[in-house]
Copies of this chain bind each other. A is one copy, B any other.
């Protein structure tokens, strides 16, 4: 493959040369990823509450939502606020709420957002009940269940599950149900392990829901979610909804555990060659960790893809170029196999770098440059950031 003949020298938009680094979003790949998830959700017979923390963009999220009303999952109240400003109403804030966010949650509810909060302790439930009583507001609350010892949540069999539900109900709040996130699925390394993890995630919430119902709590919502478990679940009996986010773009971590192919990854960082260190066979590009993020998620996988896998302008990996190092605005590209001397990519050549972790890389950029199926960029879609 001769890079000089296979790539356009520079990417343009409206006839103007685009400055790098920038974040390319391959529309065709994204649409295929969304279609795949929707087919799976349909087959499972549950509802879908996409997690928008990966994309933080109304144009992308509209492709995922069942309607303009939602439903969606968010990771911050700023996400809730932004999507509410775009007309979304059915929003689950999927991080246990801190007391300093109660006022913000209240404002959202008073704006007409059907906001669902989560928590996993008597402590937090007590504080929320006090606040809700003082403000005469009814919050919908889901109890977070720990399916896999990964992070937060109560064990499905813990006495505190019932204690929290009783406390919320007696305090006048609405016990909307249970939710869990099997974050350990990101570390599974075979289809069989992914199927087992999906089943473990399902069982955890279904068991907690059963216990709650036996204690007199209706528990209408039984929510699970992660991209790997959503795609590998064989059935979701007893579950009412699935949440997932990263599937819309996928990334090298997901490819590394076999949830997608490298060719499915829909976001890439466009960078430009700025120099070489021929003695070390290094090519320097203008995409460092400020562009890629510091995520090194593949370092624990079978194939370590460094700070990203280097592709040509059509998004095809240039075997075997990876970003082996990253400073703030410098990326160091090297050939793992030694097949490509550093002169392979002359100064000015543009490359697309696939990210380890789409959520982290996309968060470094103010917008997506949308690459249409004809490989032309005609529009940008804004992202938001911060809290």
- A: residues with CB less than 8 A from B are 10, 17-22, 53, 75-77, 95-101, 103-104, 119-121, 123-124, 127, 146, 149, 151-152, 183, 272-277, 280, 284, 286, 289-291, 293-296, 325, 327-330, 332, 346-348, 350, 357, 359-360, 363-366, 385-387
Contacts and interface: CB of A to CB of B under 8 A. Distances in A.
A306 to B, nearest CB: 14
Contact of A99 (B97, B272, B296, B329): B272
A387 B77 contact: no
3 pairs of A and B residues whose beta carbons are closest in the complex: A294-B294, A98-B272, A96-B274
Given A99-B272, A275-B152, A332-B151, A366 B347 contact: no
Contacts of A276: 121, 123
Contacts of A290: 75, 363
Contact of A77 (B19, B98, B119, B332): B19
A119 to B, nearest CB: 7
A329 B20 contact: no
Interface centre among A20, A119, A327 (most CB of B within 10 A): A327
Given A119-B275, A121-B347, A363-B290, A330 B151 contact: yes
Contacts of A100: 10, 17-20, 272, 348, 350
B295 A95 contact: no
A77 B21 CA distance: 11
Given A294-B360, A363-B290, A385-B366, A327 B151 contact: yes
Contacts of A346: 123
Contacts of A284: 96, 151-152
Contact of A348 (B18, B99, B152): B99
Given A10-B99, A121-B276, 14 more contacts: A10-B100, A19-B77, A22-B387, A96-B284, A97-B274, A98-B273, A98-B274, A119-B275, A120-B275, A123-B346, A151-B327, A293-B293, A294-B294, A294-B295
A19 to B, nearest CB: 5
Contacts of A123: 275-276, 346-347
A104 B363 CA distance: 24
A185 to B, nearest CB: 13
A226 B284 CA distance: 20
A299 B355 CA distance: 22
Contacts of A75: 290, 328-329
Contact of A98 (B20, B101, B127, B332): B20
Interface centre among A120, A274, A291 (most CB of B within 10 A): A274
A149 B152 CA distance: 44
Contacts of A350: 100
B274 A95 contact: yes
A290 B75 CA distance: 10
